[in-house]
Amino acid sequence: MMRHHVILRVITKVLIGPIILFAFYVQFHGDYSPGGGFQAGVIFAVAFILHGLVFGLSTVQKVMPPKWVHKLIALGLLIYAGTGFAGLFMGGQFLEYNVLAHDPIHGQHNGILIIELGVGMTVAAVMIAIYYAFAARPPRISDEEW
């Protein structure tokens, strides 16, 4: 590992925590303000992609192994679809949130939070998987040939 980008490495380590914290803020305040699962998923993935760009693909894959990424894609999809089917089993329609709690207002709130959680997980995992796919490709020409 090259040691000559000290400032970039330190700034990256400092920024990853606030990026993830901001992603959680966007995730859980998406029903009150602009944002939600998709935006939070992209922001969350940016933290891992930044880590991979600065420290290398093998380092970020130790933090988030590819098999976890693929499982998170499926889990996010299952959360989304499971919320829809929960509405069906409780006597409503697919993705009808009113039946998910004791009153329709709480049901809407719970349904939106759960759906956005599933979307956020899926988007973050897909973005990380796309980064892994592109970063793992061997370069056609070496750095010395530039």
- Using alpha carbons, select from 116, 104, 108, 146 the residue that is nearest to residue 40: 116
- CA dist 108 and 32 (Å) reads 13
Residue 89 lies in a domain: yes
pLDDT at 139: 72
Compute the half-sphere exposure of residue 84: CA atoms within 13 Å on the CB side of its CA: 10
Position 125 confidence tier, pLDDT thresholds 50, 70, 90 = very high
CB atoms within 10 A of CB 59: 12
Residue 146 lies in a domain: no
In this prediction the pTM is 0.85
pLDDT digits (tens, 9 = 90+) for 54-73: 999 999 999 999 999 999 99
Describe the crossing of helices 66-89 and 104-135 by its angle, rounded to 10 degrees: 160
Residue 144 lies in a domain: no
For the chain, what percent of residues have pLDDT higher than 90?
A: 63
Residue 115 lies in a domain: yes
Higher pLDDT, 129 or 100: 129
Residue 145 lies in a domain: no
Residue 10 lies in a domain: yes
Position 3 confidence tier, pLDDT thresholds 50, 70, 90 = low
* pLDDT at position 48 over 60: yes
The helix/strand/coil state of 45 is helix
Sorted by sequence, the CB contacts under 8 Å of residue 110 that are 6+ apart come out as 97, 100, 101
- CA dist 85 and 83 (Å) reads 5
Number of domains making up the chain: 1
pLDDT at 13: 94
Residue 63 lies in a domain: yes
Give the range of the structural domain holding residue 33, as residue numbers without chain letter: 6-137
Residue 36 lies in a domain: yes
CB atoms within 10 A of CB 68: 14
